A and B are shown apart, each in its own frame.
Chain A
Amino acid sequence: AQSVSQHNHHVILSEAASLELGCNYSYGGTVNLFWYVQYPGQHLQLLLKYFSGDPLVKGIKGFEAEFIKSKFSFNLRKPSVQWSDTAEYFCAVKADRGSTLGRLYFGRGTQLTVWP
């Protein structure tokens, strides 16, 4: 089974600060990588995804993530956070092997709180 680690359980920032949320996974082969976000009271929605090609992917609301294969990492970044970015963020991985029928493996989530 795959494992996905999100290093920070809770991150607190002031508005305009830069954000980086860590995500590491255990599988060494071909992967599909995702970041999902859950705003307070809302359902999980896709922030960005990586399937292949340029390892720097851009998502909605100014977020980006970089896939570094040698480090098994897919860290999420945003240069300047806003109060509206307060949410829980989940990293997810699908591996090409040992991953039955498209199931994703999720990290435990990082709660981001942004103070105005």
Chain B
Amino acid sequence: DVKVTQSSRYLVKRTGEKVFLECVQDMDHENMFWYRQDPGLGLRLIYFSYDVKMKEKGDIPEGYSVSREKKERFSLILESASTNQTSMYLCASRDRRNEQFFGPGTRLTVL
């Protein structure tokens, strides 16, 4: 089974802090994705990566950056957390048949 893990299930940070969300997949997938999930808005794509050190902006990249130094790991960075970034963050990786596999999510609260 494909496994996508995220470093934290719950995280509480203060406004202005730098926040790192980590995601690791174990199936050698090239493509990885970061989404945020908010009630009534579904999943919105923040960033994705199609290979090591490669990244592309999604639909809502403002206030976020990403890092992909190794194939299995894709990190989402909030340079200066703000309250409007309180959300559920989902990481996913994609196989060659276009199926995406999701991690359990990190619920981030910014105070």
Contact = CB atoms under 8 A, between A and B. Distances in A.
A94 B42 contact: no
A51 B97 contact: yes
Interface string B12-44: 000000000000000000010101000011111
B48 A43 contact: no
B50 to A, nearest CB: 5
Contact of B43 (A9, A45, A106): A106
A109 B97 contact: no
A102 B105 contact: no
B61 interface: no
Interface residues on chain A, size class: 20 to 34
Contacts of A103: 33, 45, 48, 58
Nearest to A109: B42
B69 interface: no
A60 interface: no
Contacts of A34: 99-100
Contacts of B102: 36, 43-45
Given A101-B48, A103-B33, A103-B58, A43 B104 contact: yes
A49 B99 contact: yes
Interface in A18-67: 32, 34, 36, 42-46, 49, 51
A108 B33 contact: no
A42 B45 CA distance: 20
26 contacts: A1-B59, A9-B40, A32-B98, A34-B99, A34-B100, A42-B104, A43-B90, A43-B102, A43-B104, A44-B90, A44-B102, A49-B99, A51-B98, A90-B42, A90-B43, A94-B98, A100-B56, A101-B56, A102-B98, A103-B58, A104-B98, A104-B100, A106-B35, A108-B40, A108-B42, A109-B42
